[in-house]
Amino acid sequence: MKVALYNLTTTTQYGGVESFVWEIARGLAARGEDVTIVGGEGEIRRPYENVRVATFPFTSRDALRKLPGLAKQYTLTKLAERLTFGKNARAFMRRERFDVIHIQKPYDLPPAVWFKRNTKTRVVLGCHGTDFFPSDRRFVGASEIAVSCSAFNAGQVREHYGISPRVVYNGIDPQQFFPQAPDPKLRNQVAGDAQTILYAGRLVRWKGVQYLIDALALLAQMRNVRLLVAGEGEYRPILEQRARERGVADRVNFMGYISSDALAPFYAIADVVALASYANETFSIMSAEAMACGRPVVGSRFGGIPEVIADRETGFLAEPENAADFAARIGELLDNATLRERFGQCGRERVLRLFTWDAVTERVQDAYKAIL
């Protein structure tokens, strides 16, 4: 099977979708498939065997937003960026005659129509969110099948396009994220003798870290506890101000960006891992990573998070934007080491069953076979 994993940003930036493409490429190649990553001109590569990479120029959305009238046209400029990329890749895609072209964004549906005109290729629409655009329904017929990162996301796609995607969860590497003894030196360095709550991710409003800070303020009235924040983003100054306003600035450690390669030891020193997203969360890689490391997780009862965290089995679900509920659930875990241990063990088992890259690759390959 000759497969193109087509996504501009795979070779230009880091992120969840990009990791999905790289890991699926590696998994398919290991299963004997002929795999090519088709990305934008950029420097990002992973040293995976038997994975070919082809890159093409494009006009970036940032450059387009400098043009008169386009400064705030976010959807339009993202679509235009993808169209310029598709135009430059078109001759290559037609010449290669792939059996399957797997796109990761609805923005790539119009180029998929071009690619199919002179070939017998089949198109898989990968869905990781709601990157819809005006008139996109007219192009969705270019795809023979769609796959979504969660049942929640599949429902969003079904409502918008009237199609029913297969659910193919995102994955993590259980050999990179695994239970390990906490490093006492690291724990002392970042938290002293306090109990620890860890959040790892981007610092944007909808990730809800502000509610974890509010929950910390409630918890700190009764116990010695710290919130470790691993991540960066434009919302960080507002979060720092919120910590000061809540009187817990000395209990919040903003550690900055920590690469995924270096995160496992931080999960190991966390008593509880927490995320309070209330928008745009179709899956939760952070929850899967934490569970793979044997840590209990408290997450929002929102989006795809409940499909990752099994409530009262691998952690707790709390109501979105409800700091008191988060404080209660986190506090229950901080007070009960036996429960933390049990949830951690069950979490690791759940990840090994559902969220490994090998399992994800098998589901993707099954989707390909279904349309060939």
Give me the percent of the chain exceeding a pLDDT of 70: 100
34 has a pLDDT exceeding 90:
yes
Q: What is the pLDDT of residues 163-198, one digit of tens each?
A: 999 999 999 999 999 999 999 999 999 999 999 999
pLDDT band, very low/low/confident/very high, at 15 (cuts 50, 70, 90): confident
Q: What pLDDT does residue 127 have?
A: 94
pLDDT band, very low/low/confident/very high, at 212 (cuts 50, 70, 90): very high
Let me know how long the chain is: 372
Class of domain 184-354: alpha beta
Q: Mean pLDDT throughout 272-288? A: 96
pLDDT band, very low/low/confident/very high, at 273 (cuts 50, 70, 90): very high
291 has a pLDDT exceeding 90:
yes
**What's the angle, vertex CA 229, arms to CA 226 and CA 230, rounded to 5?**
140
Residue ranges, comma separated, of all CATH 3.40.50.2000 domains in the chain are 2-171+356-371, 184-354
Q: What pLDDT does residue 16 have?
A: 85
Q: Which overall architecture, per CATH, does domain 2-171+356-371 show? A: 3-Layer(aba) Sandwich (3.40)
Q: What pLDDT does residue 277 have?
A: 97
pLDDT band, very low/low/confident/very high, at 310 (cuts 50, 70, 90): very high
| Nearest-10 crossing angle of helices 209-219, 323-334 | 60
Q: Mean pLDDT throughout 357-367? A: 97
Answer whether 179's CB lies under 8 Å from 344's CB: yes
pTM comes to 0.91
Q: Mean pLDDT throughout 122-143? A: 95
Q: What is the pLDDT of residues 232-251, one digit of tens each?
A: 999 999 999 999 999 999 99
